[in-house]
Structure 1
């Protein structure tokens, strides 16, 4: 059994611009991310992304799916130093167009393995909320 956590927000930027910021997978908008390196092209399914976080945590993620049509990407955690508090985690980001005002609806979901704790799910929730707010702020500047 796994646990799913979903957070979302409306961003006052066109869906195409919001998607472009997310599909790069560099998370440049997020203050918790110090640097990102790719083993291949960022959009190559199967490629590995190494993310160094501000607290020194280093994680490797594999891109499992990327759809330009659906404006979505899915990645999984494959390594973490220090070790992640959950055996496995799979994350999906998706951008929808809000046609009424040309804004974006962004949804970020995570599926955790059954060994996760409540604290892991809560931590993911608050990190997603903060990251989405920072994404919205970064897109509002342009």
Structure 2
């Protein structure tokens, strides 16, 4: 069983607009997210933010990579209430310009520790697909 999941889509919006929505790290485009609260240096590597989901789950994310060159960021879950069923998870979102038509290719990758179950990976898959569709809808002209 793989503890890796990658989902992607093409969004009919320029890279700058898509990257602005992703790099804000507030997940405003995603209907599952109720709110985000910036904790410590949220835009710097090592910074943290608290994400509250509509179901009451509260997770704390730490930014572990932020690249303006690659238009990518990586964050990890450092706390979750209620607790999650795996030891660790890292998530990377990257935006790439599609030069043929000035659209954007977005890829969201998740890597879970070896104890991440198939159910966790599949849940991640469908949530990412929904989030990417909602991101596209919020940004397309």
TM-score when normalising by structure 2? 0.97
Residues 6-30 of structure 1 show CA distances to partners (whole Å, capped at 9, x for unaligned) of 0000000001110000000000000
Length, aligned pairs only:
141
The answer to whether structure 1 residue 107 and structure 2 residue 128 are counterparts is: no
Partner of 1:67: 67
SS of equivalent residue, structure 1 residue 22: helix
Partner of 2:84: 84
- Deviation of 1:2 (Å): 6.7
Residues 90-119 of structure 1 show CA distances to partners (whole Å, capped at 9, x for unaligned) of 000000000011000000000000111100
* Residue pair 2:41, 2:48 contacting (<8 A) in 1 also: no
SS of equivalent residue, structure 1 residue 64: strand
Give structure 2 stretches of 5+ with no counterpart: none
| Cα distance in 1, alignment partners of residues 99 and 93 from structure 2 | 19
Give structure 1 stretches of 5+ with no counterpart: none
Partner of 1:43: 43
* Residue pair 1:2, 1:111 contacting (<8 A) in 2 also: no
| Cα distance in 2, alignment partners of residues 2 and 104 from structure 1 | 27
| Cα distance in 1, alignment partners of residues 42 and 21 from structure 2 | 12
TM-score when normalising by structure 1? 0.96
Partner of 2:34: 34
SS of equivalent residue, structure 2 residue 137: helix
SS of equivalent residue, structure 1 residue 121: helix
| Cα distance in 2, alignment partners of residues 46 and 8 from structure 1 | 26
Q: Which range moves more in the overlay, 37-46 or 5-14?
A: 37-46
The answer to whether structure 1 residue 139 and structure 2 residue 139 are counterparts is: yes
Partner of 1:19: 19
- Deviation of 1:122 (Å): 0.1
